[in-house]
Amino acid sequence: MREYVLQYHNARKIMDLLDKGEKLIGNIYYYNTFLTPATIFKLDRDIRKTATSSPPVDINKASTT
């Protein structure tokens, strides 16, 4: 089982794994908030913004649509 802590400093790493088709297995924590693996793909746009912009995306404001 893998766990990824998704924060500003490693958002690009996660983005690259998603681009390579890596399956994220296990639990994903986004700013200490539990997400299911399926939810990570809904946050893909926000992850990409986080990887390239300065303030990190606030999980409470992140788009889930």
Residues 5-60: tens digit of each pLDDT: 444 445 566 666 666 655 554 444 444 345 555 555 555 555 555 555 445 555 55
With respect to residue 52, please indicate whether it lies within any of the assigned structural domains.
Answer: no
- Does residue 58 sit within a domain? no
| pTM attached to this predicted model | 0.23
Give the span between the Cα atoms of 19 and 27, in whole angstroms.
19
Q: Is 53 inside a domain boundary?
A: no
Q: What residues form DSSP beta bridges with 6?
A: 30
Say if 59 falls within a structural domain.
Answer: no
User: Does 18 fall in a domain?
Assistant: yes
Does any domain span residue 15?
A: yes
* 62 domain-assigned: no
Does some domain include residue 57?
A: no
When divided into structural domains, the chain yields a total of 1
Q: How many other C-beta atoms can be found within 10 angstroms of the C-beta atom of residue 4?
A: 19
Q: What is the pLDDT of residue 63?
A: 55
Measured between alpha carbons, how far is 10 from 51 in angstroms, rounded to an integer?
8
Note down the domain range covering 25: 2-47
Distance, C-alpha 39 to centroid of its chain: 9
